[in-house]
Amino acid sequence: MKSLFIKLISFVFTIVSFSTLASADVDKSNPYAMIEEVAQVTFDRFASEEANIRENPEILKDIVREELMPHIFYQYAGLKVLGNYAKKASKDERREFVAAFREYLITSYAQVFTLYDNQRIVFKPEQDFSKKKIVMVGVDIIDEQRPPINIQFKVRKNSKTNEWQAFDLVAEGISLLDAKQKELRSILAQNGVPKVTEMLKEKSQRKIVFKDNADEVRAKIEAQSEPATEQ
């Protein structure tokens, strides 16, 4: 189940990344249009840069940092991961955690991108979102070797900018943010926010590996998400 969930994450965040040159044309006032519009540009970019990415997988970090993160509400996601522990942390500790969480996401998503292999994406019909602050955008992942898989973006309207940004996904009934919160809960309880911040900083420095064996890649991603052990 864990490997399947990680693979689904690769599909989702491939969709929400997009070219900087095209970002100004993306309709951020519509969560459904935003997701759909960025998809084609994403596929085109990965196709055009595939050779360079294979030669130097660290390029994926640059792509995520420059193209994906502007569309991810990582500040909101980071504070949701902290949960009640955010109240116990100082303003500076929260700020440092969010910054470290952002860099951790960059490395995690970059590693996940190595699993992308031209799967076909089918979007669910748009629903009325005029009175909503959070919308679930459904997507079917079509892989010829297995039955279609449904996932859902959680997209939230930023009250300051009035733009929609992705902050979570649900796959096989599992929320990525909930899973991360449970993973870090014991460390937060025992050591507080600063300890987790340092752990995320360390994990964000890990190199991206591109292996032909998908199981090896998944194993590295799972190792990336494992909680740090106490020394």
Domains of the chain: 2-214 (3.10.450.710)
Residue 46 tokens, joined:
């990965």
pTM: 0.74
Taking only the tens of pLDDT, the chain with its 231 residues reads: 444 454 455 455 544 443 333 344 677 899 998 877 766 666 666 777 888 988 899 988 887 887 778 778 899 999 999 999 999 999 999 999 999 999 998 898 788 777 666 677 788 999 999 999 999 988 887 877 777 777 788 899 988 888 998 888 787 678 878 888 888 888 899 999 999 999 999 999 999 987 654 455 455 555 555 544 443
Q: Tokens 């190199």 — which residue?
A: 207
Distance CA 126, CA 124 (A): 7
212: which DSSP letter?
S
Q: Is 134 helix (H, G, I), strand (E, B) or coil?
A: strand
Residue among 88, 62, 59 nearest 192 (CA): 88
Task: Determine contact, residues 187/228, Cβ cutoff 8 Å.
Answer: yes
Q: Rounded to an integer, what distance in angstroms lies between the CA atom of residue 142 and that of residue 197?
A: 37
* Host H or E run for residue 147: strand 146-157
Torsion-angle region of 126 (φ positive above 0: left; ψ -120 to 50: alpha; else: beta): beta
Query: Which residues face 165 on adjacent strands?
Result: 156
Q: What are phi and psi of 103, to 5 degrees?
A: -65, -35
